[in-house]
Amino acid sequence: MKQNHLENIRETFEDFKCLLPRFISVKEDLNLRKKFCSRNRNPLWDISNTKYFNTGLGSEEGLSSIEPVKDHFIQRAKAVNLIFNEIEKDPEMTLEQFIKILIKYCSVVSLTKEEHTRVSSFCRKNKDIFNYEAYLACGIKVSGLSDLILAN
């Protein structure tokens, strides 16, 4: 990982630690928690939009596509919620532990544009579903993904 990328992750980690009291104050209110997670998802795009977070996994078509779509198998807003829950459980978390959590919740797989559109449409109609669950519902097989999720 490049030094600049590590610095961006460190800064995001410091920001998230500062935001932890706010997360704790809104987590019991579903509407406020959802808004909080939505507002704070963009840093995850910035830091996970590198090869470091590419699992190398994807649908057969996505892996052979000339222009695959890199899809977060856990939507960023949902990942924010999971990450803040982890930070709350371990407020003394180290940067290295934070990076492992980012890898667990913010990594990407390759899909075709059409597959990505199907998954996005399905998830808009089924708001509590993770993208990786939508893959199955949409008939998209990502070999090795369940092993990766269970390993983390």
pLDDT tens for each residue of 49-88: 888 899 999 999 999 999 999 999 999 999 999 999 999 9
Q: Is the pLDDT of residue 38 over 90?
A: yes
Please state, in angstroms and rounded to a whole number, the distance separating the CA atoms of residues 9 and 24: 22
Question: Residue 15 pLDDT > 80, yes or no?
Answer: yes
The CA distance from 132 to 145, in Å, is 8
139 Rama sector, left if φ>0, alpha if ψ -120 to 50, beta otherwise: left
- Find the mean pLDDT for residues 8-28: 96
> Contact 73/145 with Cβ under 8 angstroms?
yes
Helices (H), 27-142: 30-39, 42-48, 60-64, 76-89, 95-106, 113-125, 131-137
How many Cβ atoms are within 10 Å of 85's Cβ, its own excluded? 12
- Give domain limits for the chain: 3-151
Say if residues 111 and 59 touch (Cβ distance below 8 Å).
yes
CB 140 within 8 A of CB 115: yes
Q: What would the pLDDT profile of 89-111 be if each residue is shown by its tens digit?
A: 999 999 999 999 999 999 999 99
144: alpha, beta or left? (left if phi > 0; alpha if psi -120 to 50): left
pTM above 0.75, yes or no: yes
